[in-house]
Structure 1
Amino acid sequence: MIKRSVLKTIGICFIMAGFLTSQQLSDVAFKTIQLSYIQTDRAVGILKSLGYSVIDFSVASGPNPNELIFEPQGEFAASLYKGLAAKPEDLPIVIMLPETENITLLEMQGAAAQGQGAQEMGVDLGGASLIYTTSGEPLQRLMIAYDPNDPETLSRLVNILTNEIDVAAVQVIIEALIIEIDSDKIDELGINLSGRQSLISGSTPAPDPETGGYQPFSLVLDKTLLGTAVDLEAKLQALISTKSADILSRPSVLVLDGRQARIVVGQQIPIARSTATGQNVVSATEYIPVGIVLNLRPRVSGDRNSITIQVETIISEAVERIGIGSVGSDLLSAPVFNSRKVQTYVQVANRTPFIIGGLISKKKSDQRGGVPILGSLPLIGNLFSFQRQTDERREVIVVLTPNLVDVTQRNFTRVIPKDSEIFSSLGNMLFQNSYRVLNRDVYDFGFIYTNPVYTEMVADITALQDKSMEAASDPDLNRFMEGSLPGEGILVRRMLYDLVERVDYYKYIRPGNVIYFVSDPSDPSNTLLRRFSRTYEEFLRRDGKRGKGLVLSFRPDELQTDGGAHLSRPVAGEVTIDIGKGEDYKRKLRSLNQDSERPAVLLYDPDMERRLYEVMVLRRILEMNPNITQNISNFKPGIEIIFPSPEALESDVHVLDIEIARYFFEINNYNNSFDAAFLRGMDEIGSIIDSYFE
């Protein structure tokens, strides 16, 4: 009895302790944010300075190799208990999720090779030992524990993280033009090595008094004097066209603000090495790089108008080989290198070219010739011979032009390749066909984004999401703020249709493989298959020249039975209508499609038949690129679109159904269709906004 009562008392104490603990803890909600640009440790350090509660971890080695033990640390480590808030006043709490250690395959191979001793080559041939556990979780994440009854505090924290801390750096594309130019033609560019000319401002070092050569220099072109960078390029092109200059290379590099980029244009020159050890001579070959090296580190100003660049330019070339001795019976020679190096800081406006030069080469040639024997006679030999001496001076100059690429405005015009069919991949045997979208393929939607209806909606959503965390996580509102437009699918499909029309893919649709379904008059629960080619050929033979048109109108076939509505394939109704002379086709098609649930196709000439086949190709492209219509802002020059193979289009059966009829109408009436869908969608978004104030 005593033992039983003691156990009962202990149990009551534990129950009371649990009851008291539950009364002291508060509910907590959690939100995970994946950072896109800044590292988590830096973001957490900034949040600490702002006064937010942060929990990070200490790391210790685990019981097994390559395993770690993480323990929360810091003054807020005990603020949470079993997912509840032990100290509600510390909320919101930012938890820096442990990061997976970055291990490259080269590091894994090196670790495995350490245990192989002298058999390192065996590791190379056998591959690396995959000794680390694969981790598949997202990287760079923060978890926020917050009070679900105080969403405004969370919204403020998320706004600081996403809009102030985790922001993308501006990118700079630096274009380099490396040319070798006749030094006598330098003046045509407005460059004077000892003064000031029309296109430049500044001065350059004086010639070397011993060699007479010029030292490296850098000149910034004055845009107020130059006008535009196009003028300089035009002058360079003029020199190139007259054979006074040669383009050695035209590289370009895309680099983040504040990061270093390196461009190397050159070659490796072999040098033979011989080492004498007693009576043995060991030969080896060493390669020395020569050419042009550009080290660049740009820094963009806060107003995005100027760029400060650290520039290091190294220009080297091998001139000749000279003898340096002998080893045994072998004569040794080594090349002589001319090298120039310039390090400078320049500050230029966006898209302003500047010149780096200084490698001037002098070549003297002495050419002699004449009539054999007679040319070598004394006194009169000069009458039968000639001698020509030439002195050529050429200089390598580098023209650098920085261009800003602002990712926040989705402007990648200078980064993507130029419009050329060479970047598309059509007609492959083993791989999917692809088409790279060109600038001409994308419509200009500025009239939408500047429309007051759109701009006012953006302002309303921004104000709402700043106050409501629930609205900030609303998928419909976020999709709109990310560039999605109501009715965007209609515009994307029309742009895709233009691609299909341009590449003539309609010819791969065989009319005999196009089918559609009609109701069975003798059995209402059944449908009949029809060949489109037979129906259309019969129409053309019977009514093609009588001013009539073939209408195929589609509707879902609903059969009322005792068990309820029975749904079968959408069926087509075949109707022949009169087409007035000169009647507008689109107006007639709109009248046939007043009921959106029953779209119709109107055909009476080859152009409309071709358009029908092109719409069938369009549907196949949409099936192969399922996400392409989800956000119109992603449909931009440079993206690749998967195209069906001609063989598949020729062999497959294509169903003419209600979806094809709807696409056919949208393609022919895309302006009106989009306007209606856009206004309808904007009303729906307005209703979502109003729901947060109810």
Structure 2
Amino acid sequence: MMRKIFITCFLLISTVFAEDIRVKYKTLQLSYITTDRVGGILKSLGYAVIDFEKSAGVNPNEIILTPAGDFANVLINGMVSEDDYDALPLVILLPETDNITLLEMQGAVSEKGAEMGVDLGGSSLVFTTSGEPLQRILIAYDPDNTEDLKELVSVISNQLDVAAKQIMIEALVVEIDANKTNTLGVNFSNSGSMYSSSFPEPDPSTGNFEPFTFIMDKGLIGNALEINAKLEKLISDQTSEILSRPSVLVLDGRQARIVVGQQIPIARSTATGQNVVSATEYIPIGIVLNLRPRISSDGNEITMQVETIISEAQERVGVGSVGGDVLSAPTFSSQKVQTYVQVENNTPFIIGGLISHKDTKQENEFPILGRVPILGSLLGFNKKVRSNKEVIVVITPHIVDVGSGSFAHVIPKDIDILNHWGNKLFQDSYRLRNTDLYDLGFYENTSFYNTVLNRAQNVIQENAVASANEDLADFVSGSVPGEEVLIRRMLYDVIEKENYYKYIVPENVIFFGKMLDNQGNAVVDKRNFGEIYRSYLKRFKQSDGLALQFESTESVEFADDYPLRPVANINRFELSGTYKNTLRELNADSSFGYSIYLKAPKHERRLYEVLVLRRVLEMNPGILNNINLFKAGREILFPAPQSLEGDIHVIDNKIAEYFYQINLYNDEFDRKFVDGIKTLSTIIQEYE
């Protein structure tokens, strides 16, 4: 009997501990690294990973995906057994869509010789269209143990899926008279203070140099600027010519290829018996720059592979004859340099020594008489002229940090042509300029801010749970408490500069006010701001200002036509000292609503500009999220003037809040900034 009881209890206990665990799922969208690389790295770290094997299906273009790996069968109906619990969190590499490009199909057409034209037959769209996001992983985890999940997400997000730095490479290709090279002030046969490389000795028979490179010393950037100025002087004197001035933005470690040139047609004929087949072959010529940079770990140096190819067509030469026709073909000159260089950031280096010779024949004759035999040769002259041309390539790399001023290398100039006003089909837009942005050093350089920022960075690196805190993650990525106040003010300045207030029709501006009905009950009524304000100005020209004070509507009975919303009371309000002091006094307690104060025509204009500001914010969602992303070159959508003129604009409590913050943005930012930093410090303390 005792044995039976023991066996029964043992089976019961085994059943309890062998209970399957239902998992939950979290999807991660990878931004930079690919899923296959993440999977391989996570396997090396000991995480369980499921990937897929592909096989052809029965139907054409059908692919069968089969889970593969040691953990392919761990999940059954969304549950994991007790024996497989150690596999959690389980990483599933979501398979990629193969048919995302038409280039492969177009490549088959190109092989038939259609690369110089357009295949009017188009491509066969044989694949099923897929609209899913790419590069995702799915994580299965135990909902009762989220610490392991947070640690895994932290490893992927903070260590693996990180963005590579970028490099802006500027190139200047100049062809100059080889005899004018000495005007650059560089002695190519000896190293000097202007550069850090040595040069090959010239060819004793020709006096020419082999292709070479030299690098400007970082401490002597003025020398680089001097050479650049002398190059520009040669260009202005028409003794040199800019062949190309390309620039390219490339990721760290990736190759960039710049091709500037043309294709020369060459006629070809193939004779087979009595048949002659003619064809045209295109030979590319021009300038080719192949570049592959690599940034050092400290971000101060760049190691770069450089290949420079410069080719051009020369005079035609005879290559044979067919019948009585002389066949000719052009000759091509080509110069090529391949090298490795290591330079400091923002430091130019020069590739030179690409010298070519061209012989030309000059003929001069006396009009009419020059065609007379013997007499023509006496009156005219013929001579051969040899020109020596040297091509110099100046390459300057700039490491681009989107969070610093070096980003200016890749943004357009501050010119009006980049703005798009008056579009017929698309929204108007404005591109931010450096002059539109505020200097943020007033808080970035404070110890109060930097101390808390360093603490946040440390806890996120050391604590996986802290890295999952959205407030800390946003703060470390550049978000600042109160940043929305500064961004709104900078946007307002653009609206003010572009005179957008004139597109607001005062008669189309309304607000909701409280009034009494025939029975004496308080109700909400739609009121026209333009009419009321014009009437007020006629009655009280030199008197007090007009205040729109919003309040709660909990005690107000509403008509069915109007939703629950704060209402505005219209009051005359005496100016208390300065205008800002009066506005500050009116908004001393904004918990029940903000107030608008109008004392001068410029205040009415500001109100209309704030109405435009709200529309701009609605058209650019997320623009207030990170002040580091509000930078020169960013395009801001603006409403079309026609829509502003025809729309009804409502003054509500949100407009009153914006109006107050636009006028007193320094006060509002300081308050939100200090309170926010203190709150973040308290959050950080929980993880330290």
TM-score, with length taken from structure 1: 0.85
Q: Distance in 2 between matches of 1:107 and 1:594?
A: 64
Task: Give the match for residue 555 of structure 2.
Answer: 559
Task: Give the match for residue 328 of structure 2.
Answer: 333
Quote how far apart the aligned CAs of 1:569 are.
Answer: 4.5
Q: Superposition RMSD on alpha carbons, in Å?
A: 3.8
Task: Give the match for residue 160 of structure 2.
Answer: 165
Quote how far apart the aligned CAs of 1:449 are.
Answer: 3.5
Asked if 1:95 is matched to 2:91, the reply is yes
For residue 589 of structure 2, the aligned residue among 595, 600, 621 is: 595
Counterpart of 1:340 in structure 2: which amino acid? Q
Counterpart of 2:540 in structure 1: which amino acid? D
The one-character-per-residue Cα deviations of 1:364-422 (angstroms, maximum 9, x if unpaired) are: 5545355875999999998x778887654332211111111245769532122222222
Q: Distance in 1 between matches of 2:663 and 2:200?
A: 68
Is the Cα–Cα contact under 8 Å of residues 200 and 212 in structure 2 kept in the other structure? Answer: yes
Asked if 1:34 is matched to 2:29, the reply is yes
For residue 572 of structure 2, the aligned residue among 554, 569, 576 is: 576
The one-character-per-residue Cα deviations of 1:446-489 (angstroms, maximum 9, x if unpaired) are: 33344344334434444555566554333334333333222222
For residue 541 of structure 1, the aligned residue among 529, 538, 541 is: 538
Percent of residue pairs identical: 50
Quote how far apart the aligned CAs of 1:628 are.
Answer: 1.6
The one-character-per-residue Cα deviations of 1:559-589 (angstroms, maximum 9, x if unpaired) are: 35699xx974533322233447xx4221122
Is the Cα–Cα contact under 8 Å of residues 558 and 567 in structure 1 kept in the other structure? Answer: no
Give the 3-state SS of the residue equivalent to 1:352 in structure 2.
coil
TM-score, with length taken from structure 2: 0.85
Q: Distance in 1 between matches of 2:329 and 2:615?
A: 65
Counterpart of 1:575 in structure 2: which amino acid? N
Asked if 1:491 is matched to 2:472, the reply is no
Counterpart of 1:507 in structure 2: which amino acid? K
Structure 1 332/390 Cα, relative in aligned 2: closer, same or farther at 3 Å?
A: closer
Asked if 1:585 is matched to 2:579, the reply is yes
Deviation larger for 341-350 or 437-446: 437-446
Task: Give the match for residue 453 of structure 2.
Answer: 458
Asked if 1:664 is matched to 2:659, the reply is yes
Deviation larger for 297-306 or 470-479: 470-479
Task: Give the match for residue 508 of structure 1.
Answer: 503
Q: Distance in 2 between matches of 1:413 and 1:251?
A: 17
Give the 3-state SS of the residue equivalent to 2:516 in structure 1.
coil
Deviation larger for 654-663 or 197-206: 197-206
Asked if 1:622 is matched to 2:617, the reply is yes
Is the Cα–Cα contact under 8 Å of residues 38 and 166 in structure 1 kept in the other structure? Answer: yes
Quote how far apart the aligned CAs of 1:691 are.
Answer: 7.2
Is the Cα–Cα contact under 8 Å of residues 485 and 669 in structure 2 kept in the other structure? Answer: yes
Structure 1 561/345 Cα, relative in aligned 2: closer, same or farther at 3 Å?
A: closer
Give the 3-state SS of the residue equivalent to 1:637 in structure 2.
coil
Asked if 1:222 is matched to 2:241, the reply is no
Task: Give the match for residue 357 of structure 2.
Answer: 361
Q: Distance in 1 between matches of 2:466 and 2:129?
A: 37
Is the Cα–Cα contact under 8 Å of residues 108 and 128 in structure 1 kept in the other structure? Answer: no
Quote how far apart the aligned CAs of 1:225 are.
Answer: 4.6
Asked if 1:434 is matched to 2:439, the reply is no
Give the 3-state SS of the residue equivalent to 1:590 in structure 2.
helix
Give the 5 Å matches for 1:307-322. Answer: 307-322=302-317
Give the 5 Å matches for 1:514-529. Answer: 514-522=509-517, 523-529=520-526
Give the 3-state SS of the residue equivalent to 1:200 in structure 2.
coil
Is the Cα–Cα contact under 8 Å of residues 205 and 215 in structure 1 kept in the other structure? Answer: yes
Deviation larger for 283-292 or 203-212: 203-212
Structure 1 671/205 Cα, relative in aligned 2: closer, same or farther at 3 Å?
A: same
Counterpart of 2:91 in structure 1: which amino acid? I
Give the 5 Å matches for 1:172-571. Answer: 172-206=167-201, 214-227=209-222, 229-357=224-352, 358-364=354-360, 366=362, 368-369=364-365, 391-406=386-401, 412-462=407-457, 464-465=459-460, 469-522=464-517, 523-544=520-541, 546-559=542-555, 568-571=564-567
Give structure 1 stretches of 5+ with no counterpart. Answer: 1-12, 118-122
Q: Distance in 2 between matches of 1:191 and 1:691?
A: 62
Is the Cα–Cα contact under 8 Å of residues 190 and 198 in structure 2 kept in the other structure? Answer: yes
Counterpart of 2:531 in structure 1: which amino acid? R
Deviation larger for 83-92 or 428-437: 83-92
Is the Cα–Cα contact under 8 Å of residues 357 and 386 in structure 2 kept in the other structure? Answer: no
Counterpart of 1:542 in structure 2: which amino acid? R
Q: Distance in 2 between matches of 1:665 and 1:604?
A: 14
Quote how far apart the aligned CAs of 1:196 are.
Answer: 3.6
The one-character-per-residue Cα deviations of 1:263-307 (angstroms, maximum 9, x if unpaired) are: 111111222223344445443322211111111111222222222
Deviation larger for 492-501 or 585-594: 585-594
Give structure 2 stretches of 5+ with no counterpart. Answer: 1-7, 113-117
Give the 3-state SS of the residue equivalent to 1:87 in structure 2.
helix
Counterpart of 1:235 in structure 2: which amino acid? K
The one-character-per-residue Cα deviations of 1:605-628 (angstroms, maximum 9, x if unpaired) are: 222222122111111111222322
Quote how far apart the aligned CAs of 1:547 are.
Answer: 4.7
Task: Give the match for residue 126 of structure 2.
Answer: 131
Task: Give the match for residue 669 of structure 2.
Answer: 674
Deviation larger for 370-379 or 280-289: 370-379
Give the 3-state SS of the residue equivalent to 1:638 in structure 2.
coil
Is the Cα–Cα contact under 8 Å of residues 347 and 397 in structure 2 kept in the other structure? Answer: yes
Quote how far apart the aligned CAs of 1:208 are.
Answer: 5.3
The one-character-per-residue Cα deviations of 1:21-50 (angstroms, maximum 9, x if unpaired) are: 763545655444333322233333333333
Q: Distance in 1 between matches of 2:319 and 2:534?
A: 89
Is the Cα–Cα contact under 8 Å of residues 399 and 406 in structure 2 kept in the other structure? Answer: no
Quote how far apart the aligned CAs of 1:155 are.
Answer: 4.0
Quote how far apart the aligned CAs of 1:92 are.
Answer: 4.0
Counterpart of 1:553 in structure 2: which amino acid? Q
Counterpart of 1:103 in structure 2: which amino acid? N
Is the Cα–Cα contact under 8 Å of residues 28 and 85 in structure 1 kept in the other structure? Answer: no
Counterpart of 1:595 in structure 2: which amino acid? D
Structure 1 77/474 Cα, relative in aligned 2: closer, same or farther at 3 Å?
A: same
Is the Cα–Cα contact under 8 Å of residues 167 and 252 in structure 2 kept in the other structure? Answer: yes
Counterpart of 2:291 in structure 1: which amino acid? L
Is the Cα–Cα contact under 8 Å of residues 607 and 659 in structure 2 kept in the other structure? Answer: yes
Quote how far apart the aligned CAs of 1:643 are.
Answer: 0.5
Deviation larger for 128-137 or 500-509: 128-137
Q: Distance in 2 between matches of 1:589 and 1:147?
A: 55
Counterpart of 2:234 in structure 1: which amino acid? L
Give the 3-state SS of the residue equivalent to 2:342 in structure 1.
strand
Q: Distance in 2 between matches of 1:385 and 1:57?
A: 83
Is the Cα–Cα contact under 8 Å of residues 371 and 385 in structure 1 kept in the other structure? Answer: no
Structure 1 228/598 Cα, relative in aligned 2: closer, same or farther at 3 Å?
A: farther
Structure 1 567/165 Cα, relative in aligned 2: closer, same or farther at 3 Å?
A: closer
Q: Distance in 1 between matches of 2:213 and 2:427?
A: 49
Is the Cα–Cα contact under 8 Å of residues 34 and 142 in structure 1 kept in the other structure? Answer: yes
Q: Distance in 1 between matches of 2:135 and 2:44?
A: 20
Give the 3-state SS of the residue equivalent to 1:314 in structure 2.
strand
Structure 1 528/52 Cα, relative in aligned 2: closer, same or farther at 3 Å?
A: closer
Give the 3-state SS of the residue equivalent to 1:239 in structure 2.
helix
